[in-house]
Amino acid sequence: MIRQISGSMILYYYFNIRLLIHMTLSINDVKQIADLAYIEISEEEANATLNQLSDIFKLIETMQAVDTSQVEPMSHAQDVVQRLRDDAVTESDQRDLCQSIAPQVENGLYLVPKVIE
Amino acid sequence: MFNESLKQLSKRLAKKEISSVELTTEFLERIKKFNPEFNAFITIDEEKTLTQAKQADQKIASGDTGPLTGIPVAQKDIFCAKGWLTTCGSKMLSNFVSPYDAGVIERFDQAGAVNMGKTNMDEFAMGSSNETSFYGPVRNPWDVAAVPGGSSGGSACAVAARMVPAATGTDTGGSIRQPAALCGISGIKPTYGTVSRYGMIAFASSLDQGGPMAKSVEDLAILLNVMTGFDQRDSTSLQREKEDYARDLEKPLSGLRIGLPKEYFAKGMSSDVEKAVEQALDQYRKLGAETVEVTLPNSPLSIPVYYVLAPAEASSNLSRFDGVRYGYRTQIYQDLGDMYRKTRAEGFGVEVKRRILIGTYVLSHGYYDAYYIKAQKLRRLIAQDFKHAFSQCDVIMGPTAPTVAFDLGEKSSDPIQMYLSDIYTSAASLAGLPGMSIPIGFGDKNRPVGLHIIGNYFAEARMLNIAHQYQMATDWHQRMPGI
């Protein structure tokens, strides 16, 4: 038990130190996030985004002022459990309808650039 | 006729004084007259609309009618409607003709309502001024220099300008209540889980909730009766007994305890808004209510918490837009990754991309606990504050927005100032509580002010009662912009 508490305290300090370091985002951070999000970003956009994200994260950092060590995270507004249903077919085949709005289809297949050489 | 209540219009239809086609045509004429200036609609399709009106007339002729049969209702362009262009205010979905109906659309169709078209909105419901729409900003009918609020700005404008008798909206952090306040109409976001999210394009799934927007509270009750109900296709839809939201409208307010959060009245509210709110509270005291001070100590943190959780959920939800199965795809690309990156760079607007980046960052390795889990913990504290407050009062009241409608362009280059427009509304969203806004007068530049009413879980009927009694004693909700 004691070990667990001290472990989480270490984690707590670890995060705070990391936060201090990362409170100011770098241009490379912005580019890396954009890459993770699959959004192409130009140098100019990355610079503009950097300034705005830095301001927004300053606002977000105000959360750290409240001690929440004893609080359980709340992921949802209602305490509900996932409903289960019978394993039965509920949808009818609407492939033609759904593919009629696709950017590119051929023989009932969605076309994308070649992914395997 | 265009300023009449849903009940009055329904009575005219039932008495055959007017047909749904005639009623619908009258409102379509108003849309044609005013929409070029206000830009409240993204899609208008007279043929589809009039077909529904004809079907409604057949229903009326056969005696198969309900309170909304033949009544024109505009739909926010976030609700998928089969055969209708459904854009969510984005270039990404600028060619998306929905192959299916949202649960909400099905309910209005079954009730015999007439879909008047799809209303303009902030892109993917991310915004508080309607300026992030790919289809251009909506204008506030009270003052064309002002924004209508957002994200349901098109719906708020359409109702305020009497282009439609009622409309739908969705609310993630204030997107029904804030535009209702800024446009001088009534709107309610019910308890999370009461309106189906099936076919409602997702922004932040644990917060998104549909609701009605109309001239009066009585109209909201009628609309809510149609909109709510269990839908097994929405995993967070609540299984509850069907209730009549109009059942308590006429109850007197004596003994009502109104909680006034000291944090909401401390600072931040502009003096013109404060004056209107104080006058509304005086009216409530005349109606027999008493006011008590309550405290929501963590609510000032609702904006930072919201701007961690909502972008986190958005970055996950919006990963589906990849240009493969539907929607926009870039023209020139080298490989699959390049196609994704260019499609998303071109298809999303600046604010949507900003929020995807915030969300991606707070969910990324090493920051998840410090931001995302931290925000979820604060979300619980915010919800607990309300629980405590509701042990001392029946409803909570305050301003819906800190100021009256601001000017177009005033905040569009400063995201944080824009985010702070939802300072009073986002806490109730995080807790999943019902919230509404009703018009209570005018502030600076003669722009409308809204009163925010937050109720306990499933207290919609009581909230509607409280708001309706105010509207019986005042006439702010009947005021129309001089257009």
pLDDT tens track for B153-204: 999 999 999 999 999 999 999 999 999 999 999 999 999 999 999 999 999 9
Task: Give the tokens for residue B95.
Answer: 């060619």
pLDDT at A49: 94
Decide if B340 and A55 are in contact by the 8 Å CB cutoff.
Answer: no
Q: How far is CA B138 from CA A45, B36, B329, B437, in A?
A: 26, 10, 27, 20
The alpha carbon dihedral of B258, B262, B264, B270 has a sign of positive
Kindly report the backbone phi and psi dihedral angles of residue A8, in degrees, each rounded to the nearest multiple of 5, phi listed first. Answer: -70, -30
Q: Which of residues 79-138 of B touch A (CB under 8 A)?
A: 95-97, 99
> Has residue A19 got a pLDDT over 50?
no
Decide if B232 and A77 are in contact by the 8 Å CB cutoff.
Answer: no
Residue with tokens 């000032």: B300
> Measured between CB atoms, does B417 come within 8 Å of chain A?
no
SS (H, E, C) chain A: CHHHHHHHHHHHHHHHHHHHHHCCCCHHHHHHHHHHCCCCCCHHHHHHHHHHHHHHHHHHHHHHHCCCCCCCCCCCCCCCCCCCCCCCCCCCCCHHHHHCCCCCEECCEECCCCCCC
Type and span of the H or E element at B225: helix B217-227
Decide if A98 and B325 are in contact by the 8 Å CB cutoff.
Answer: yes
Residue of A nearest to B351 (CA): A49
For B428, other C-beta atoms within 10 Å of its C-beta total 31
Q: Region B49-55: what's the mean pLDDT? A: 98
- Confidence (pTM): 0.95
Q: Which residues contact B49 (CB under 8 A, 6 or more apart)?
A: B24, B28, B72, B114, B115, B116, B117
Q: Which residues of B are catalytic?
A: 76, 151, 175
| CATH fold for the domain made of B6-251+468-478 | Amidase signature (AS) enzymes (3.90.1300)
CA distance B65 to B139: 35
pLDDT band at A1 (very low <50, low <70, confident <90, very high): very low
Task: Give the tokens for residue B158.
Answer: 């359409």
Domain ranges of chain A: 2-65
Contacts A101 to B, Cβ<8 Å? 95-97, 99, 326
Closest Cβ–Cβ partner in B192, B358, B362 for A77: B192
| ipTM surpasses 0.85 | yes
> Has residue A22 got a pLDDT over 50?
no
For residue B255, give the amino acid letter. Answer: G
CA distance B394 to B399: 17
Kindly report the backbone phi and psi dihedral angles of residue B396, in degrees, each rounded to the nearest multiple of 5, phi listed first. Answer: -115, 140
Q: How far is CA B415 from CA B270, B307, B425, in A?
A: 20, 11, 17
Residue of B357, B429, B456 to mutate, testing the A interface (most A Cβ within 10 Å of its Cβ): B357
Q: Which of residues 227-286 of B touch A (CB under 8 A)?
A: 232, 235-236, 238
Q: Which of residues 330-359 of B touch A (CB under 8 A)?
A: 333-342, 344-345, 348, 353-354, 356-358
